[in-house]
Amino acid sequence: MTDEAPDFITARVGPRGSLENLSQAEIGKLLDTGQGGLYPLFRRCALAVLNSGAPTDNAKEIFDRYRDFEIRILRHAWGVKLQMQHAPAAAFVDGQMIRGIKEHLFAVLRDVVFISNEIIASGRFDLSDSASITNAVFHVLRNARLLDHKARPNLVVCWGGHSIDTTEYQYTKNVGYQLGLRALDVCTGCGPGAMKGPMKGATIGHAKQRISNGRYIGITEPGIIAAEPPNPIVNQLAIMPDIEKRLEAFVRLAHGIVVFPGGAGTAEEILYLIGILLDPANREQPFPIVLTGPSGSAPYFEQIRRFIGATLGEPALQRLAVVIDDPPEVARRMVAGMDAVREYRRRNSDSYNFNWLLSVQPAFQQPFEVTHASMRGLDLRGGQPPHQLAASLRRAFSGIVTGNVKEYGIHAIERHGPYELSGDARILGLLDELLAAFVAQGRMRLPGSTYHPVYRLV
Per-residue pLDDT of the chain (458 residues), as tens digits, is 444 445 888 888 876 654 556 777 777 777 776 656 788 888 888 888 988 866 665 667 777 888 889 988 887 666 678 889 988 888 899 888 999 999 999 898 889 889 998 999 889 999 999 999 999 999 999 999 999 988 899 999 999 988 789 999 999 999 999 999 999 999 999 988 999 999 999 999 999 999 999 999 999 998 788 777 899 999 999 999 999 999 999 999 999 999 999 988 899 999 999 999 999 999 999 999 999 999 999 999 999 999 999 999 999 999 999 999 999 999 999 999 999 999 999 999 999 999 999 999 999 999 999 999 999 999 999 889 999 999 999 999 999 988 887 778 889 999 999 999 999 999 999 999 998 888 888 777 655 556 778 889 88
Of the candidates 143, 141, 343, the residue with the CA atom closest to the CA atom of residue 252: 141
Beta bridge partners of 321: 290
**Contact between 68 and 6 (Cβ < 8 Å):** no
Please, are residues 372 and 412 in contact by the beta-carbon 8 Å criterion?
Answer: yes
Q: Do the beta carbons of residue 176 and residue 154 sit within 8 Å?
A: no
All domains of the chain, ordered by start, with CATH?
3-124 (3.30.1850.10), 129-458 (3.40.50.450)
E strands of 112-159, at which residues?
155-159
Spatial separation of the C-alpha atoms in residues 301 and 446, rounded to whole Å:
20
**pLDDT, position 447:** 54
pLDDT at 94: 87
Under DSSP, is residue 146 helix (H, G, I), strand (E, B) or coil?
coil
Instruction: Find the largest Cα–Cα distance for the chain.
Output: 65
Q: How far apart are the first and last CA of the chain?
A: 56
pLDDT for 449 equals 59
Give pLDDT, residue 2: 44
CB count within 10 Å of CB 149 equals 18
Report the predicted TM-score, pTM, of the whole model to 2 decimal places.
0.89
Q: How far apart are CA 360 and CA 404, in angstroms?
A: 27
Round the CA-based radius of gyration of the chain to a whole number and report it: 21
Q: Residue 433 is which amino acid?
A: E
The confidence score (pLDDT) of residue 3 equals 44
Q: For CA atoms 404, 408, 414, 420, give the dihedral sign.
A: negative
Give the span between the Cα atoms of 174 and 181, in whole angstroms.
11
Buried b (16+ CB within 10 A) or exposed e, 417-426: ebbebebeee
The distance from CA 287 to its chain's CA centroid, rounded to whole angstroms, is 19
- At residue 117, φ and ψ (nearest 5 deg) are -85, -45
Backbone angles phi, psi at 452, to 5 degrees: -115, 120
Nearest-CA neighbor of 163 among 2, 69, 300? 300
Is residue 107 classed exposed, middle or buried when 0-12, 13-18 and 19+ CB atoms within 10 A define those classes? Answer: buried
Report the interhelical angle of 298-312 vs 425-440 (nearest 10°): 170
Per-residue confidence (pLDDT) for residue 40, from 0 to 100: 85
| 378 in Cβ contact with 421 (< 8 Å) | yes
Pairing outcome for strands 79-88 and 70-76? antiparallel
Dihedral (CA of 367, 372, 376, 377) sign: negative
Alpha-carbon distance of 84 to 131, in angstroms, equals 40
Which pLDDT value is given to residue 1? 43
Please state the φ and ψ torsions of residue 271, each to the nearest 5 degrees.
Answer: -65, -35
